[in-house]
């Protein structure tokens, strides 16, 4: 079983994010838009130790994509081990894409979203079965 600590978006925020970017997600891509990763493993292994259940806000600032992933860059007070805080919105699994590829996007070179908006979520420890 693998796990990670993340700010998991609430349903309203995820729906807003997906609906606002649906025209950019190529057909056949997996739609995610679930969370902003804080660190791999439990919260005690990263900067969010003691923050489980904390409610946070993400301000959407930029968007970027390549042939593997589509992601948004965010600003927030919630800590993250990632160099650029982001939410992966879509993944081209058939093309070899994985959510981790969002870390390779170069958000600073992308024009900011004209009307940035805010997403809300809760810090959670997410556990996933590995196959």
Residue-level pLDDT, tens digit, the chain, 131 residues: 799 999 999 999 999 999 999 999 999 999 999 999 999 999 999 999 999 999 999 999 999 999 999 999 999 999 999 999 999 999 999 999 999 999 999 987 777 776 678 999 999 999 987 54
Q: Is the pTM of this model over 0.75?
A: yes
Closest to 41 (Cα-Cα) out of 127, 131, 129, 130: 127
**Helix, strand, coil shares, percent, the chain, to 5:** 20, 40, 40
3-state secondary structure of 1: coil
Fold annotation for 2-128: 2',3'-cyclic nucleotide 3'-phosphodiesterase fold (3.90.1740)
Structural domain spans, the chain: 2-128
């Amino acid at each position: 079983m693998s796990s990670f600590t993340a700010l998991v978006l609430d349903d309203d925020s995820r729906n807003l994010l997906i609906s606002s970017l649906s025209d950019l997600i190529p057909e056949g891509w997996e739609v995610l838009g679930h969370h902003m990763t804080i660190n791999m493993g439990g919260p005690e292994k990263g900067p969010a130790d003691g923050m489980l259940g904390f409610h946070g806000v993400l301000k959407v600032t930029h968007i970027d994509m390549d042939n593997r992933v589509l992601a948004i860059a965010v600003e927030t007070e919630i800590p993250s081990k990632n160099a650029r805080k982001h939410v992966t919105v879509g993944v081209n699994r058939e093309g070899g894409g994985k959510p981790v590829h969002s870390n390779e996007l170069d958000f600073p070179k992308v024009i900011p979203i004209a009307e940035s908006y805010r997403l809300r979520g809760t810090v959670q420890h997410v556990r996933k079965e590995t196959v």
